[in-house]
Amino acid sequence: MRTTFVSNGLEERPQGFYERKPFVLFIAKDESEVWNMEQVLVDEHRFLYAVTSEWKQVELSLHSQIPIVIVLLHKDGEQVDPVIDAMIRQYCEYYKVSVVVCNRERTVEQPRLFNYSFANPYDKKDLIELVKKLIQLRSTSYIDLETGLLNQLFFERVYKWQLAACKRTKVPFSLVFLSLHSYDEWKVLYDSLTLREIKEEWIDQIQEKVRDSDFVFSFGQENEVILLLPYTGGEEARSFLNRLENDSKPLRVSHDDTESSVDLQISGVIVEIRQSSAEHIEVTRKAREMMASIEVSSVATIEDYVKKEVEPIKVTIIEPDDVFRHVLVNLMNRLEMEGFEFVIKDFEDGQSFLDSDYYQSAHTHIVILNDILPQRSGLELVYELRGMPNTNKYLITMLSTRRAEEDMIYAFESGVDEYIVKPFTIHLLEAKIKRLIRRYR
């Protein structure tokens, strides 16, 4: 008894169609420098590639598809663009991508990082062999050999990256766990080869629908594909699944000389993540438990990680007048904004603020100060803050009786974000503080 797979009216696919080829990114000022080397590898059908020299194109390439090897090709005397160099270093820190530096001068100057290799750009044969070895090493490290999709190791690295981006940008991402609803029935009806070909066709349909920035994983479960959709909320993820199901193409399988149609009905679990504390092990466990409880082809949602995290924001009030300082402190204590918690401290003068360690923080820091202060003026304090590392974290509002246009312009040019002329209403100050936070967060 033999079961054979029949494609849905399509031409028979060439051998190796389902192989996910590795992606190598070349960075070179002159594409002709790359041609001889990449032509050898392309002829062997070993990899996909891209060539660029502009940092924006490098950034686009890194976000569109994950390279497993990056090759920096430079002639003697040329230096790598510092923006590109920094971008690659940060990228490699998360994804552990191999980097090959091809410049005899840089082999001496470049610090020897654990994932950096060095090659003589004039010895093309050795360079090609090195790239081949790194491709093989990284492919087996990051690719699930059963499906050709990205594996658990790579999932953990991408997940970590997305959590960091979520914390920084406050934009969610979503995980989508998918399975073929009738898979257990097919295991009884069809042989393993047919099952594999059905699954490969299903994966291929998924790959056609995902964006270049999305990731498709497979690990730990026979009948499961996991999608990671960056910068995507739960509603967008559900819309994607609706399109995937509506555009799904039925397959015909031949079994005991009888052809039948196979509908690729899916069950899914969507997990929208807005919390940087969400551990991937816990998220995966909950999604798989919910998937196991789904009895019909449908899509469920886990909302445990939808609530936004509360971000602490430091508030410093610097005002010499005791009564007015007390009024400002009460205002900030009453101020409520969803997703933010205000930690407030007040000072009589700017020097005592600088002498404390309160200004040291990686969090957003609102500074409300009078322009006239004991010891050091408000503008002197602004100069001090704007000269510190990560100065953009300070959102500075200056209160002043000076209403001349040149005074305001001078304050803004000195680094003040908001300038409020006395007298003013507390409601106006509250509105401006809220707008300032929304603008920068």
Taking only the tens place, the pLDDT of each residue in 41-84 is: 544 444 555 566 665 666 665 655 556 677 777 665 566 667 77
Which residues have C-beta within 8 Å of that of residue 70, sequence separation ≥ 6?
A: 24, 25, 27, 88, 92, 97, 98, 99, 100
The pLDDT value given to residue 188: 86
Which residues have C-beta within 8 Å of that of residue 265, sequence separation ≥ 6?
A: 180, 181, 182, 245, 248, 297
Do residue 255 and residue 294 come from a single domain?
A: yes
Answer whether residue 426 shows pLDDT above 80. yes
For strands 225-229 and 251-255, give the pairing.
Answer: unpaired
Residue 12 lies in a domain: no
Among 142, 175, 193, the domain-final residue is 142
Domain around 226:
152-302
Average pLDDT value for the chain: 79
- pLDDT band, very low/low/confident/very high, at 387 (cuts 50, 70, 90): confident
Q: Is the Cβ–Cβ distance between 116 and 101 less than 8 Å?
A: yes
The pLDDT value given to residue 35: 55
- Side-chain half-sphere CA neighbours of 375 within 13 A: 13
Average pLDDT of the residues in 10-34:
51
Answer whether residue 169 shows pLDDT above 50. yes
Which residues have C-beta within 8 Å of that of residue 311, sequence separation ≥ 6?
A: 170, 339, 340, 341, 363, 364, 441
Average pLDDT of the residues in 379-388:
90
Among 302, 328, 359, the domain-final residue is 302
**Who wins on pLDDT, 434 or 109?**
434
* Residue among 30, 50, 26 at smallest CA distance from 131: 26
Average pLDDT of the residues in 106-121:
56
Least confident piece of the model among 138-142, 222-226, 227-231, 391-395: 138-142
Which phi and psi angles does 6 have, rounded to 5°? -115, 125
The pLDDT value given to residue 164: 84
Do residue 274 and residue 176 come from a single domain?
A: yes
Answer whether residue 401 shows pLDDT above 50. yes
Average pLDDT of the residues in 396-406:
93
Residue 222 lies in a domain: yes
Do residue 110 and residue 157 come from a single domain?
A: no
**Who wins on pLDDT, 37 or 117?**
117
The pLDDT value given to residue 48: 54
Least confident piece of the model among 31-35, 332-336, 344-348, 435-439: 31-35
Residue 5 lies in a domain: no
Least confident piece of the model among 7-16, 97-106, 244-253, 310-319: 7-16
pTM of the predicted model over 0.95: no
Do residue 33 and residue 129 come from a single domain?
A: yes
Do residue 268 and residue 324 come from a single domain?
A: no
Average pLDDT of the residues in 131-151:
73
**Who wins on pLDDT, 75 or 430?**
430
Least confident piece of the model among 7-21, 119-133, 373-387, 389-403: 7-21
Two tokens, residue 22 = 């590795």
**Who wins on pLDDT, 120 or 202?**
202
Residue 389 lies in a domain: yes
Answer whether residue 245 shows pLDDT above 90. no
Do residue 94 and residue 217 come from a single domain?
A: no
The pLDDT value given to residue 110: 46
Residue 204 lies in a domain: yes
Among 254, 279, 302, the domain-final residue is 302
Least confident piece of the model among 132-141, 148-157, 206-215, 393-402: 132-141
The pLDDT value given to residue 321: 92
- pLDDT band, very low/low/confident/very high, at 318 (cuts 50, 70, 90): very high
Please report, for the domain that includes residue 252, its CATH number.
3.30.70.270
Which residues have C-beta within 8 Å of that of residue 419, sequence separation ≥ 6?
A: 397, 398, 400, 408, 411, 412
The pLDDT value given to residue 17: 28
Which residues have C-beta within 8 Å of that of residue 271, sequence separation ≥ 6?
A: 174, 175, 176, 177, 234, 283, 286, 287, 301, 302, 304, 305
Residue 126 lies in a domain: yes
Per-residue pLDDT reduced to its tens digit, 323-381: 999 999 999 999 988 778 899 999 999 889 988 888 887 778 999 999 999 888 999 99
Do residue 298 and residue 360 come from a single domain?
A: no
Please report, for the domain that includes residue 32, its CATH number.
3.40.50.2300
Q: Is the Cβ–Cβ distance between 34 and 26 less than 8 Å?
A: yes
Answer whether residue 123 shows pLDDT above 80. no
Residue 13 lies in a domain: no
